[in-house]
Amino acid sequence: MVAPSRIDPAQPARSLILLLGAIMAFGPLSIDMYLPALPAIGRAFGADEAQVQSTLSAYLLGLAVGQLLYGPISDRFGRRRPLLFGLVLFSLASAGCAAVADIDHLIALRVLQALGGAAGMVMVRAVVRDLFDATAAARMYSTLILIMGVAPILAPVLGGQVLMWGDWHWIFAFLALYGVICLVAVVRGLPETMDAEIMRGNRARPLSAAASDYWEVLSTRQFLAYALTGGSGLAALFAYISGSPFVLIELLGVSPGLYGVLFGVNAACFVLGSQVNARMLRYRTPGELLPWTIGAFVIGTFLLVAVCASPLFGVASFIATMAIVLFAVGCSLANTTALALNPFVRQAGAASAMLGTIQLGAGAVSGLIVGVSYNGSALPLGLVVAGCGVLAGVTLRTAPAQT
| Greater pLDDT, 60 or 255 | 255
Closest CA to 260 of 170, 162, 147, 155: 155
Alpha carbon 390 to its chain's center:
20
Say what the pLDDT of residue 232 is: 93
Instruction: For residue 224, give the amino acid letter.
Output: L
Which of 6-15, 87-96, 308-317 has the largest mean confidence? 87-96
Q: Is the pLDDT of residue 149 over 80?
A: no
3 state DSSP class of 402:
coil
Say what the pLDDT of residue 305 is: 94
Say what the pLDDT of residue 359 is: 80
Say what the pLDDT of residue 153 is: 65
Please enumerate in sequence order all residues whose Cβ is within 8 A of that of 234, keeping only pairs 6 or more positions apart, or say none. Answer: 329, 333, 359, 360, 362, 363
pLDDT above 70: percentage of residues in the chain: 94
Say what the pLDDT of residue 6 is: 47
Say what the pLDDT of residue 376 is: 78
pLDDT tens for 333-357 read 889 988 998 888 778 788 888 888 8
Backbone phi, then psi, for 378, in 5-degree steps?
-90, -5
Backbone phi, then psi, for 133, in 5-degree steps?
-80, -175
Say what the pLDDT of residue 7 is: 53
CA dist., res. 346 & res. 237, Å (int)? 31
DSSP letter assigned to residue 342: T
CA dist., res. 345 & res. 295, Å (int)? 31
Say what the pLDDT of residue 101 is: 82
Contact by Cβ (8 Å): 278, 288: no
The sign one gets for the Cα dihedral 336, 339, 343, 346 is positive
Q: Is the pLDDT of residue 44 over 60?
A: yes
Average pLDDT, stretch 134-149? 76
Contact by Cβ (8 Å): 163, 156: no
Q: Is the pLDDT of residue 189 over 60?
A: yes
Q: Is the pLDDT of residue 2 over 50?
A: no
Say what the pLDDT of residue 9 is: 52
pLDDT tens for 300-315 read 999 999 999 988 889 9
Question: What is the pLDDT of the chain when averaged over all its residues?
Answer: 84
Contact by Cβ (8 Å): 272, 149: no
Contact by Cβ (8 Å): 385, 399: no
Average pLDDT, stretch 240-253? 85
Average pLDDT, stretch 76-89? 90
